[in-house]
């Protein structure tokens, strides 16, 4: 923040114009225009290593999670060799989807990251938080939360777009909370109703 702000102090006219046209170029242009070659190498090397580190973690996490929690749950006797192969296949598929999305999108890097976290907010945040802190949470509630959250978010995003008072991801978050509570409490209601009838 301080380095980017210092750009406007060094050359106010140039960098203020850059902020209005493409603010993402402020810091790289500051480094390229006003720093020695050694500092440029260190800066861009650090940026590349940070990008590669985040990318590898972001791609590996869902692949391993899918293989360990979903595939292994349905096939508990699967060998480590086959599980590793499934992880690799999932990694390639997931990477291909991400690459296609990045190539077809007109958003900035910040916009793509922001839209990626909409999915996490609508579908994964509630099962994670409720699973960790609510004793009555169960897998049925988590499944309803994921389906309700992502389903409603996609519906609003596709059919209504930006024409809603509440952002689509917050509608998904609300439906995810409702799905989690209803799905987790529903089996208990059914059991109590069966006890009363018997």
Q: Is the four-CA dihedral 147, 149, 154, 156 of positive or negative sign?
A: positive
pLDDT band with cut points at 50, 70 and 90 for residue 38: very high
15 pLDDT higher than 80? no
Using DSSP's 3-state secondary structure scheme, residue 166 falls into coil
Model pTM above 0.85: no
190 pLDDT higher than 60? no
Angle between helices 139-159 and 168-197 (to 10 degrees): 140
For 22, the enclosing helix (H) or strand (E) is: none
Instruction: Report the chain's mean pLDDT, rounded to a whole number.
Output: 85
Q: What percent of the chain has pLDDT over 90?
A: 26
Structure confidence by residue, pLDDT tens digits, 59-113: 888 888 888 888 887 888 888 899 999 999 999 998 898 888 888 888 877 778 7
Residue bearing tokens 């989690």: 180
Structure confidence by residue, pLDDT tens digits, 130-147: 999 999 888 888 889 999
**What residue segments make up the domains of the chain, in order of their start?**
108-198
149 pLDDT higher than 90? yes
Q: How far is CA 161 from CA 122, 166, 173, 175, in A?
A: 15, 11, 16, 17
No. of H helices and E strands in the chain? 10, 0
């Amino acid at each position: 923040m301080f380095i980017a702000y210092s750009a406007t102090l060094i050359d106010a006219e140039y960098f203020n114009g850059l902020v209005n046209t493409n603010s993402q170029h402020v810091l790289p242009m500051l480094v390229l225009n006003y720093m020695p070659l050694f500092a440029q190498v260190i800066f861009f090397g650090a940026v590349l290593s940070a990008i590669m580190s985040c990318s590898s973690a972001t791609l590996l996490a869902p692949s391993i999670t899918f293989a360990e929690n979903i595939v292994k749950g349905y096939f508990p006797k699967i060998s480590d060799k086959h599980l590793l192969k499934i992880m690799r296949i999932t990694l390639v598929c997931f990477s291909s989807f991400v690459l296609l999305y990045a190539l077809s999108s007109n958003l900035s890097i910040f916009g793509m990251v922001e839209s990626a976290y909409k999915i996490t907010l609508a579908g994964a945040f509630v099962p994670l938080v409720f699973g960790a802190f609510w004793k009555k949470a169960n897998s049925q509630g988590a499944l309803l939360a994921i389906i309700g959250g992502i389903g409603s978010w996609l519906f609003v995003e596709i059919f209504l777009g930006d024409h809603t008072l509440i952002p689509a991801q917050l509608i998904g978050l609300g439906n995810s909370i409702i799905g989690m509570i209803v799905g987790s409490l529903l089996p208990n209601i059914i059991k109590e109703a069966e006890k009363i009838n018997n």
